[in-house]
Structure 1
Amino acid sequence: MSLTLSAIARYPIKGLSAEVLSRADLGFGCGVPDDRRWAMAHGAAGIDPDAPRWLPKRAFLALDSLPSLASLSLRRAGEGEVFEFVREGRVLLRADLGSGEGRKAVEALIADQAGGAARGRVSLVEGRGFAFCDAEPPLVSIACLASLHDVSEAVGRPVEVERFRANLLVAGGLPWQELDWVGQEIHVGEARLRVLEPILRCAATRANPRSGEADLDVLRPLIRLTGDAVFGVYAEVVAGGSIAPGDPVLAPPGGRLPARHGLGLT
């Protein structure tokens, strides 16, 4: 069965909603441009906003500890770095992340949302030459819609793909085919990627992407299905190129949970 690229997403601010792209230019050794470019560090993170560095996700406000963030949508407002922060269709803030005044306004909004989880002053920090992804190397996350369908059947209700915050969504093929890709290369449009490992999931998947309520446990169903709480895979770009929804995805055959020795899964 043929595979196609269904969607491309990036997350300008770590922990907030996705920006869906009509195309992306992937560079060698890079992630999706501007993915996780900004992050909201809590007061105990010990990060210098003027000289930020990559830190593990526990340094930032994120959905695993603050699921209510999911109720706050982010959308780009025109050109540049101007964004609107929206809840239930109402614009709470329009801010230019490229200006000090805009960043302070965002920090105040997020601090109010976070309450005690802010652990002091919230700082909106910008990655300069790196991204605030969970993994320090610049990787691309990939999820297959066939596997999502399998998860939904196990849970007994449709599971929103947004819970998994993937960069690339792949349509077609068999459930869990992506686990067979580990250690191998795939082609997406003009780009070539090497799949490195499955993505171990955390409590962030509890967060309803609309309401911000921690309303669904998908970790135990994932463990029952795959032997571990994994969904999707990380890949590195080994040959850059342009990609767009509808592009063919050329990947090794697989799926239906074959033997997973060598993947780090039990």
Structure 2
Amino acid sequence: MTVHLAHICRHPIKAHGREVLASVLLSAGECLPFDRHWAVAHEAAKLRDGWSPCANFARGAKAPALMAITSTLEGDRLTLRHPDRPDLTFRPDDPADLPAFLAWVGPLNPPDRAQPAAIVKAGRGMTDSDFPSVAILSLASLRELSARMGQDLSIHRWRGNLWLEGMEPFAEFGLIGQSLRIGEAVMRIEERITRCRATMADPDTGHVNGDTLAGLQAAHGHQDFGVYATVTNGGTIAVNDIVELP
């Protein structure tokens, strides 16, 4: 089977919503545009200048209800949706809109955890990697894990950017150190993505309903799923583009 790009996703606020795209323009050395452009710092955060590690932010590993947020970014306005909350449209960069966002997201965070306090951004996406990355995942790997666990796992549990169809299960790990082309862009595969408890939550409900970490450990002896890549040559990519492998 010819390998092709099946899905493109971005997450404008880290851990607070997902958005499906038909195409996107990638730039060399940068994250997918507006992916993790903002992050929600909690009240115990110790932020660095620029990029900061994920422990400083509200996220699905600690607040699984966040996993059910979907989003739409239009210009400087972001709309968030959740099955247990009314829709919210606001401007993440406008301090005047922060109280409305905090009031909206507060009930989705466990009361015994550090609470959301501010929306922050850096000169690059607030990915979990300490370098600007694009997360690439395989639908074949997802199907294999789903079959082993006996449940249909959504792509949105994994908060990836690019989903490939047509590879053998977990063949993406064999591409580390190599480059692939999708549409006009070229990406170098850098490292595996080690997963956290966020993937255990159902992205439709925000309720924990599948031990993905135990499933990966039992089947493969690790908790890795997907790979991080860096964009080496920018260009437009679109759903159904052919993926040229090494």
TM range (shorter): over 0.9
Q: Supply the distance in 1 between the matched residues of 2:22 and 2:11 (Cα, whole angstroms).
A: 14
Q: Supply the distance in 2 between the matched residues of 1:72 and 1:4 (Cα, whole angstroms).
A: 27
Question: Which residues in structure 2 correspond to 1:28-177 (within 5 Å)?
Answer: 28-47=28-47, 53-76=50-73, 79-88=74-83, 91-117=86-112, 119=114, 122-127=117-122, 129-177=123-171
1:197 deviation in Å?
1.0
Unmatched runs of 5 consecutive residues or more in structure 1? 253-266
CA contact (8 A) 1:43 1:118 kept: no
CA contact (8 A) 2:25 2:237 kept: yes
Q: Supply the distance in 2 between the matched residues of 1:153 and 1:203 (Cα, whole angstroms).
A: 20
Rate the CA distance shift 1:190–1:117 in 2: closer, same or farther, 3 A: farther
Q: Supply the distance in 1 between the matched residues of 2:112 and 2:39 (Cα, whole angstroms).
A: 15
Indicate yes or no: 2:11 matched with 1:11: yes
Paired residue for 1:185?
Answer: 179
Q: Supply the distance in 2 between the matched residues of 1:184 and 1:137 (Cα, whole angstroms).
A: 17
Q: Supply the distance in 2 between the matched residues of 1:114 and 1:66 (Cα, whole angstroms).
A: 5
Q: Please give the per-residue CA displacement for 1:225-244, whole angstroms capped at 9, x wherever unaligned.
A: 32211111011111111100
Indicate yes or no: 2:239 matched with 1:245: yes
Secondary structure of the 2:96 match is helix
CA contact (8 A) 1:106 1:124 kept: no
In the alignment, residue 183 of structure 2 is paired with which amino acid? G
Q: Percent of aligned positions with the same letter in both sequences?
A: 34
Secondary structure of the 2:211 match is coil
Q: Supply the distance in 2 between the matched residues of 1:34 and 1:87 (Cα, whole angstroms).
A: 20
CA contact (8 A) 1:18 1:165 kept: yes
Secondary structure of the 1:116 match is coil
Secondary structure of the 2:109 match is helix
Q: Please give the per-residue CA displacement for 1:85-107, whole angstroms capped at 9, x wherever unaligned.
A: 22228633221223222233112
CA contact (8 A) 1:195 1:236 kept: yes
TM-score using structure 1 length: 0.87
Q: Please give the per-residue CA displacement for 1:104-131, whole angstroms capped at 9, x wherever unaligned.
A: 311222233325255256111122x111
Unmatched runs of 5 consecutive residues or more in structure 2? none
Which piece of structure 1 moves more, 225-234 or 106-115?
A: 106-115
CA contact (8 A) 2:8 2:163 kept: yes
CA contact (8 A) 1:111 1:122 kept: no
Q: Please give the per-residue CA displacement for 1:23-79, whole angstroms capped at 9, x wherever unaligned.
A: 11111111101110111111000338xxx5311111100000110112333223xx3
Q: What do you get for the CA RMSD once the two structures are aligned?
A: 1.8
1:153 deviation in Å?
0.6
Secondary structure of the 1:237 match is strand
CA contact (8 A) 2:109 2:115 kept: no
CA contact (8 A) 1:69 1:113 kept: yes
In the alignment, residue 109 of structure 2 is paired with which amino acid? A
Q: Supply the distance in 1 between the matched residues of 2:43 and 2:131 (Cα, whole angstroms).
A: 25
Q: Supply the distance in 1 between the matched residues of 2:116 and 2:26 (Cα, whole angstroms).
A: 35
Paired residue for 1:258?
Answer: none
Q: Supply the distance in 2 between the matched residues of 1:96 and 1:121 (Cα, whole angstroms).
A: 16
